[in-house]
Amino acid sequence: MHIALPYLIAGWSGFFVMAVELLGGRLLAPTFGSSIYVWGAIITVFMLALSLGYLAGGRWSTQHPSVRRLGVLLIAAAATVAPILFAGEWLLESVAVLVPDPRFGSLLAALALFFVPTFFSGMVSPYAVRLLVRDRATSGRHAGQLYFVSTFGSAAGTLLTSFYLVLLMQVNHILLALMSISVLLGVSAYAMRGPAT
Query: Using 50, 70 and 90 to split pLDDT, how confident is the model at 84?
Result: very high
Would you say residue 53 has pLDDT above 70? yes
Q: Which domain holds residue 186?
A: 4-190
Q: Model-level pTM? A: 0.93
Asked whether residue 34 is assigned to any structural domain, the reply reads: yes
Asked whether residue 109 is assigned to any structural domain, the reply reads: yes
Asked whether residue 70 is assigned to any structural domain, the reply reads: yes
Determine the Cα–Cα distance for residues 54 and 115; give it in Å rounded to an integer.
Answer: 13
Q: Report the CATH number at residue 14.
A: 1.20.1250
- Please state the domain count of the chain: 1
Would you say residue 196 has pLDDT above 70? no
Asked whether residue 38 is assigned to any structural domain, the reply reads: yes
Asked whether residue 56 is assigned to any structural domain, the reply reads: yes
Asked whether residue 52 is assigned to any structural domain, the reply reads: yes
Query: Using 50, 70 and 90 to split pLDDT, how confident is the model at 168?
Result: very high
Would you say residue 195 has pLDDT above 50? no
Asked whether residue 169 is assigned to any structural domain, the reply reads: yes
Asked whether residue 196 is assigned to any structural domain, the reply reads: no
Query: Using 50, 70 and 90 to split pLDDT, how confident is the model at 169?
Result: very high
